[in-house]
Amino acid sequence: MEATLPVLDAKTAALKRRSIRRYRKDPVPEGLLREVLEAALRAPSAWNLQPWRIVVVRDPATKRALREAAFGQAHVEEAPVVLVLYADLEDALAHLDEVIHPGVQGERREAQKQAIQRAFAAMGQEARKAWASGQSYILLGYLLLLLEAYGLGSVPMLGFDPERVKAILGLPSHAAVPALVALGYPAEEGYPSHRLPLERVVLWR
Ligand SMILES: Cc1cc2nc3c(=O)[nH]c(=O)nc-3n(C[C@H](O)[C@H](O)[C@H](O)COP(=O)(O)O)c2cc1C
């Protein structure tokens, strides 16, 4: 299949993006979603661990259940697609051979695996979840920008009960759920974004 070209460059998408909470009924083609997800999955992570996992939810009954877990937020049910971004550090640590660069072989590879296992050995489950969530927000940023670039509206969400979301989807109890993302073709313009000026947040030394 021929690749769909992004509509917007990174800067235009960043300037134009705003949260969208009302969507057209049109379904989002799976090919388009795959293209966005493949590009977003290029996001970097510490040790290249890529502890993020994504559930693509399109089933109406599952979206309805997720809406309830998200304190009734209507856009969770009404969006044609909801992405559940979760993080599973245990799965990542159990499969280090998947993420260590193929160019690193032999003793160096073993040493790298041991160093990574050591780094997490003393970390409790809550700290592991927080660490993996932090990495997953890098992916979330990529994702939001790419969705905008491809003409899709979206809203990221933290307003949900992660334990209920995990139960609905059958996710492992040790997983973190850093965000839900409702997405689809926009049926509203959204509020103009309001941001701190550069001078307020950037220090030069
Ligand atoms: C991590 C995160 C969690 C958020 N949670 C919610 C949410 O639960 N419900 C919602 O409607 N918007 C949510 N938002 C959207 C923010 O309110 C919104 O991004 C912010 O006000 C800036 O507006 P803009 O996205 O239109 O620029 C969340 C955004 C982020 C990044």
Q: Rounded distance, CA 128 to CA 115, Å?
A: 16
Q: Is residue 134 in a domain?
A: yes
CA of 70 to the centre of ligand 1 (A): 13
The string over 141-157, giving b where at least 16 C-beta atoms fall within 10 Å of a residue's C-beta and e elsewhere, is ebbbbbbbbbebbbbbb
Instruction: State which amino acid sits at residue 98.
Output: E
* Residue 8 CB burial class (10 angstroms; 0-12, 13-18, ≥19): middle
Q: Is residue 128 in a domain?
A: yes
Counting the structural domains of the chain, the total is: 1
Question: Which residue's entry shows tokens 């949260």?
Answer: 19
CA of 150 to the centre of ligand 1 (A): 20
For residues 181 and 28, the answer to whether their CB atoms sit within 8 Å is no
Bridge partners (DSSP) listed for residue 179: 85
| Structural domain harbouring 169 | 10-188
The 10s digit of each residue's pLDDT in 40-84 is: 999 999 999 999 999 999 999 999 999 999 999 999 999 999 999
| 179 within ligand 1 shell (Cβ under 6 A) | yes
Backbone angles phi, psi at 176, to 5 degrees: -100, 155
To the question of pTM greater than 0.75 for the whole model, the response is yes
Q: Is residue 200 in a domain?
A: no
Backbone angles phi, psi at 38, to 5 degrees: -60, -40
Tokens read off for 30: 């799976």
| 190 within ligand 1 shell (Cβ under 6 A) | yes
Residue 22 CA, chain-centre distance (Å), reads: 20
Q: Is residue 201 in a domain?
A: no
Q: Is residue 66 in a domain?
A: yes
Strand 153-157 with 52-57, pairing: unpaired
| 10 within ligand 1 shell (Cβ under 6 A) | no
CA of 181 to the centre of ligand 1 (A): 10
| 151 within ligand 1 shell (Cβ under 6 A) | no
For residues 36 and 147, the answer to whether their CB atoms sit within 8 Å is yes
Q: Is residue 15 in a domain?
A: yes
pLDDT, position 4: 57
pLDDT, position 5: 62
Q: Is residue 199 in a domain?
A: no
Q: Is residue 39 in a domain?
A: yes
Q: What does each of the 205 residues of the chain score in pLDDT, given as a tens digit?
A: 455 566 899 999 999 999 999 999 999 999 999 999 999 999 999 999 999 999 999 999 999 999 999 999 999 999 999 999 999 999 999 999 999 999 999 999 999 999 999 999 999 999 999 999 999 999 999 999 999 999 999 999 999 999 999 999 999 999 999 999 999 999 999 999 999 999 999 999 9
pLDDT, position 7: 83
- Ligand 1, residues 73, 155, 196: which to mutate, most atoms within 8 A of Cβ? 155
Q: Rounded distance, CA 105 to CA 110, Å?
A: 8
| 155 within ligand 1 shell (Cβ under 6 A) | yes
CATH number at residue 102: 3.40.109.10
